[in-house]
Amino acid sequence: MWSSEGKAADTGASRQQQINTASNNGEQESEREQIFHLIDSLLSFEACLYHQILPLRLENNQLLLGMVHPQESGALDYVNRIISYLHYTMVTQEIAADIHRTTLSAYLNYKNTAHIDQQSTELLTIPGILEQSPNTTAKLPDAVPTRSQEMHSPNTQHSSEQPGDVSVSPTAKNSVPHSHVVPTHKHEPEENVVFSDVTVLQVQVPDISTSIESLLHLPPKKLLEELLGRVLTGGIGRLYLERQPYQGRIIWTDNGVLQSVLENIPLSLFQGVLNELKRFAALPVSRLAEPRQIEKECLYQQSRVLLRVRVMPGVNGEEATLQVLRGAALKFYQQQQLAHLSRDVIGISQQLSYKLHELHQRLLLNPSLKSEQSEAIVALNRIVENLDQQIKTLAANHQLPIDG
């Protein structure tokens, strides 16, 4: 028999093990959140996917960089260029390819399960580029000075320029674009919104020979158009609008390689560009209390691209990123979207099957049950079982990670 001392010792050991497990889980969650934050703020998802890298930790201005191929000079050069502007140092650590893949998948899951609050309904009524009639071409909307604009951007006369050449139009004449939100979990502090169906993005190709420094003399709307034109003409592009204490900075990368940096942007001009980006994404121009993200699949020059606009509070005020996914990065994103949708559909199918079974059991207790009612329930159950099987087959054919 176990002694009371033995029981106490075992119980204590068990509790200590639980405490250690909880502590480890908490540490892992904290590490994961830091990685996600660094992907948002330092090294973009596209760059991490393209170069097979992960920002693991940033401490005392030293970045711990996980690399599937530690000797990859292109990845090292890219990260060194980014961190040199921030006066960081770097230490590398080799990571397995499956860890890299699962971490990026978890990051996308995190992005796709964002919080929906009452502000999300604003997207259905705000006049934006995707709320035009089917026979019109939607452009960057004319600026209407608001109270927040007057506070943050004294040069509001820039915003009264005529609409530029950036526009999107529906691919189908009978489909009126509309915004809708993705189902999310309540505990997440961020909202992730998906635009309407695929639209055609019309952006004037910029004159690349023009120096990027000369763009600082343009009004906010025209400056954003020029930046959009540049980021769309390359591969996997990214714009990072970074707000500093007394000025702004816009960083442009293409395929994970730094292209140029617009330094010393007056805060009035920086805020104007940020406001135009919000209008482009049909977001409220007023300051946002929580991060908001917009995603939209578009056709640009006969190729599919995904535009991801994210506006978030920063240390010195609002900042933003605009990312363009295409090629392998877009395919990876689409696979994740298919996986989420398939999981949702299978869950609904299983819930329907359970409810039909419950209904059948209750009907059996009914003394006045008619034979045709019982037969109808049995027939419906067969339909649901067949539906569930067909969905699983479809998911398997697309090699999606669907739990049965």
The pair of three-digit structure tokens given for residue 381, joined into one six-digit string: 């159950």
HEC-encoded secondary structure of 310-347 = EEEECCCCEEEEEEEECCHHHHHHHHHHHHHHHHHHHH
Least confident of 22-31, 77-86, 185-194, 246-255: 185-194
* Cα Rg of the chain (Å, integer): 26
Assign 169 a pLDDT band (cuts: 50, 70, 90): very low
More confident residue, 143 or 203: 203
Start-to-end C-alpha separation, the chain: 44
- Residue 312 scores a pLDDT above 60: yes
HEC-encoded secondary structure of the chain = CCCHHHHHHHHHHHHHHHHHHHHHHHHHHHHHHHHHHHHHHCCCHHHHHHHCEEEEEEECCEEEEEECCCCCHHHHHHHHHHHHHHCCEEEEEECCHHHHHHHHHHHHHHHHCCCCCHHHHHHHCCCCCCCCCCCCCEECCCCCCCHHHHHHCCCHHHHHCCCCCCEEEECCCCCCCCCEECCCCCCCCCEEEECCCCEEEECCCCCCCCCHHHHHHCCHHHHHHHHHHHHHHCCCEEEEEEECCCCEEEEEEECCEEEEEEEEECHHHHHHHHHHHHHHCCCCCCCCCCCEEEEEEEEECCEEEEEEEEEEECCCCEEEEEEEECCHHHHHHHHHHHHHHHHHHHHHHHHHHHHHHHHHHHHHCCCCCCHHHHHHHHHHHHHHHHHHHHHHHHHHHCCCCCCC
- Among 1-5, 131-135, 301-305, 346-350, the range with the most confident prediction by mean pLDDT is 301-305
Assign 1 a pLDDT band (cuts: 50, 70, 90): very low
Determine the pLDDT at residue 309. 92
Assign 372 a pLDDT band (cuts: 50, 70, 90): confident
Determine the pLDDT at residue 271. 95
The pair of three-digit structure tokens given for residue 140, joined into one six-digit string: 């960057």
pLDDT, averaged across the chain:
72
Each residue's pLDDT tens digit, 35-85: 998 988 888 887 888 788 999 999 998 999 999 999 888 889 889 888 887
Each residue's pLDDT tens digit, 123-133: 333 333 333 33
Each residue's pLDDT tens digit, 270-292: 999 999 999 988 899 999 889 99
Assign 304 a pLDDT band (cuts: 50, 70, 90): confident
As a whole number, mean pLDDT of residues 350-372 equals: 79
Determine the pLDDT at residue 355. 82
How far is 240 from 221, CA to CA, in rounded Å?
Answer: 17
Which residues make beta-bridge pairs with 352?
A: none
Each residue's pLDDT tens digit, 229-285: 888 887 778 899 999 999 999 988 887 777 888 999 999 999 999 999 999 888 999
Determine the pLDDT at residue 164. 38
More confident residue, 24 or 122: 24
Q: Model's pTM, two decimal places?
A: 0.49
